[in-house]
Structure 1
């Protein structure tokens, strides 16, 4: 594995710096934000990290003075000094020169009090999630374009079985990818999660029961890919539903989990249905669930939940890079037939993706997709069952069984 992976978002950041005063690179810790920001420093940018206690103290004591001397400033971990955002707004209002500030944040900075109002119209926001398989393999995926065209998916026929399990259980954090020893990967992940809870949670919200946060994270791991029941989750920890919702929101702001809202043909009904919750990195989820390459053969159901979050995260990354606007949902009807991921494009076209942690597929696996197709009518473009196999097989009009590797396979593979 290389020490440095080319990031698809590099060009987006560079383009934004040309025409926008403030560019925010948002994403979880250790996803590569600081590395990318340093790559873009050049000779005319000043770099300051708020992870340094002295630098943080200076930024907090005098936000305006902190910005004064640097013409083009990169500020790492800006969420640690929220007062800087107002000072940046003032500086930009006085001089809207493009590229003045490049910020990185390990929480959803826009969720901080007054942040969105302060920098509305002045800031471009780019999410940098852990590495996607297309970045690791340096391929160009046509998954979304082919799916919405109803075309036969591409496939990487070499990524099945043990190789496939390794990819899913490792996830996309660079530090996880560089550790070949699974024990060392597990140790890194545990230390990472411990640091997030002990340090970064305080940057996001006031949490009265900080000691419950590690337990909550483990409970959420057990519910990954399932409908969120705040009362049930909170009940396992002695928390009421309101507090459980708040604490889960903290993990969302830290880019550990993400809610997947339900899809409905009637847009107004989406708000009253129940979202699912997914972890944004399958490697971290696997560690929380104690699923490893040594145990996966006897824990296929649990591996299936990890795989579903893996696929959701990969699709989220692919959608984020496209110029078209995509929205992700899940589908579940009154008969409890489901589709794991529903992708809707700006024209209202629909693609359904079902995930199966098995090497075989049968017609029954398309039940939810056929229900979705019926609900969509002529908006339906394609239904895919992604599985642990190496070939693409048709299962009717615009229905395919395809390897999970279709997500990253280059055309012609």
Structure 2
């Protein structure tokens, strides 16, 4: 089994809070992680219809039957439980009483904010990171192989070809999650919208253009995009708020949490097709930024990350803000180090005051290399979140 970086953080917080809540996209390994990290806890999944009805019909009896030190998976299916859990933890006031998990971030956190605020630590899990796969000697050999494969655990645990896994995953996501959260009359139209989002990964989001191409209204496009965000399929990267006396773009950029899913939605059938694909650079950028997000999540942190782009289309792909400092990152899928990769970073440095030690180029090669302009970092050496400072390696 692949060791998950977040495990120690979860165990630590379980000794501090009466409830731990773990969210994340479907099939990213939440149940496996919790069963492994807490072997002395009882496990119950409310995807089981019989157990779900028991919990709905008699929440108090359900909790009494299972007792404390219980993992309740897909807890969002029975919102009636949350107020009873609140009463029980307030009465007993012990750490580590319940561990809740679920794939519906919106529904789960909505119930938490209503009943369990202040009583639970909320953590986020994502598919395998590069570091986790490296530690388990499972990282695909080539960059294209990793971009095409992605990080969903079942692919590695069961040795399933990505071309076999993702179509079924997409169908499961729509049948279980989308139908539960929001009623969509035309599911094929939603799938088209999802594929159009994949074609925009790593790019500025123009919601009107997206809606027009999907043949839906702008309000519907916004609602569906929020649905994808709340179920950890996509995330939006906001532009940096400090204008440095420059005119800046105001639109966010759209990214997928997993490049394997994006590649499947784009119709790719094998990793070789990535070599000449028109979106290879954007897919690589998606991978790098999602790795930064994962490292924050696994450390129990919310990433303070942005991009910078001015009206002349000068752009820094990623800014990480931590401890009052900025780190600027350019992302290039090329396997060759080139000094001109630092050009925009140096432009940004000229008016931001950022030091060369905080300038980085993540590229598609194998070797880290430090120059007087900044540092090249291989795609195989993702940043680690240590002491809240993402690039402290």
TM-score normalised per structure 2? 0.88
Aligned counterpart, 2:358: 382
**Other-structure match for 1:58:** 54
- How many Å separate the matches in 2 of 1:173 and 1:323? 20
CA positional deviation for 1:231: 1.0
Cα 1:324–1:234 change in 2 (3 A) is closer
Q: 8 Å contact 2:293–2:303 — kept in the other structure?
A: no
Q: Which residue of 2 aligns with 1:403?
A: 378
Question: Are the counterparts in 2 of residues 330 and 340 from structure 1 also a CA contact under 8 Å?
Answer: yes
Per the TM alignment, residue 255 of structure 1 is displaced from its structure 2 partner at its CA by 0.7
- In the alignment, structure 1 segments of 5+ residues that lack a partner are 140-158
CA–CA separation in structure 2 for the residues paired with 1:17 and 1:394:
41
Match of 2:227 among 222, 247, 250: 250
Find the aligned partners of 1:321 and 1:193 in 2 and give their Cα distance. Answer: 25
Determine helix, strand or coil for the equivalent of 2:123: strand
CA deviation string 1:365-395 (max 9, x = no partner): 2233223323421477522221122333445
* 8 Å Cα contact 1:82/1:112 also seen in 2: no
Is contact 1:31–1:128 with CA below 8 Å preserved after alignment?
yes
Q: 1:105 to 1:272 in 2, by over 3 A?
A: farther
**Of 126, 133, 150, which residue of structure 2 is paired with 1:171?**
150
Aligned residues: 381
Alpha-carbon distance in structure 2 between the residues aligned to 1:370 and 1:384: 11
Task: Show the counterpart of 1:260.
Answer: 237
Aligned partners of 1:372 and 1:286: how far apart in 2?
32
**2:99 aligned with 1:91:** no
Matches within 5 A, 1:23-42: 23-42=20-39
1:257/1:231 CA distance change after superposition, 3 Å = same
1:124 paired with 2:121, answer yes
Within-5 A mapping of 1:220-369: 220-265=197-242, 273-291=250-268, 292-299=270-277, 301-322=278-299, 326-345=303-322, 347-369=323-345
Q: CA 1:380/1:88 → structure 2, altered by over 3 Å: closer, same or farther? A: farther
Task: Assess if the C-alpha contact under 8 Å between 2:9 and 2:299 holds in 1.
Answer: no
RMSD: 2.8
Give the secondary-structure state (helix, strand or coil) at the position aligned to 1:294: helix
How far residue 81 of structure 1 moved from its aligned partner, in angstroms, is 1.9
Query: Within 2, Cα distance between the matches of 1:108 and 1:265?
Result: 30
Stretch deviating more after TM superposition (278-287 or 65-74)? 65-74
The TM-score normalised by the length of structure 1 is: 0.84
CA spacing shift, 1:204–1:270, aligned 2, 3 Å? farther
1:195 to 153, 169, 172: 172
Name the structure 1 match of 2:388. Answer: none
Deviation at 1:110, TM superposition (A): 6.6
Flag the 1:340–1:271 CA change in 2: closer, same or farther, 3 A. Answer: closer
Deviations 1:350-375 (A, max 9, x none): 11122112122434322332233234
SS in 1 for 2:4: coil
**Structure 2 runs not aligned, ≥5 long:** 385-390
Counterparts of 2:325 and 2:78, CA distance in 1: 42
Q: Sort the Cα spacing of 1:52 and 1:323 in 2 relative to 1 into closer, same or farther, 3 A.
A: closer
State the 1:113 CA deviation: 3.5
Specify the alignment match of 1:14 in structure 2.
Answer: 11
Paired residue secondary structure (1:197): helix
Structure-2 change in CA distance of 1:391 and 1:41 (3 Å): closer
Shift in Å at residue 296 of structure 1?
2.1
Q: Secondary structure at the match of 1:172?
A: coil
